[in-house]
Amino acid sequence: MIEREVTIRNKMGLHTRPAASIVKLAAKFKSDFYIEKDGVEINGKSIIGVMTLAAEQGAKMLLRFTGVDEEEATKAMADLFDRGFDEEM
């Protein structure tokens, strides 16, 4: 299991488009993927779950991957967050 803290960098925060990007990326990996924010844990492969995070720019959260490809998955997902989901930062 790998845990990694990330920050929301883009101006618009976690609206539908980034939420969809996260879920699509997570689906590529076999590992289970959970996101924890403010003590609440949601399944990162569920768009409804990610939507409930309601995170704005600057918010921090914990990514948790468990599985055979957990290293790759963590790196790829952290990278997506760091790029601000390829949106205006």
List of residues contacting another protein (CB under 8 A): 11-13, 15-17, 19-20, 23, 27, 43, 45-49, 51-52, 54, 56-57, 87-88
Query: So which residues are the catalytic ones?
Result: 15
Q: Provide the 3-class DSSP secondary structure of residue 76.
A: helix
Q: Which is nearer to another protein, 56 or 79 (CB)?
A: 56
The sheet with strand 60-66 has its strands ordered as 2-7, 60-66, 32-37, 40-43
CA distance 89 to 69: 29
Least Cβ distance, residue 57 to another protein (angstroms): 7
Q: Which is nearer to another protein, 6 or 23 (CB)?
A: 23
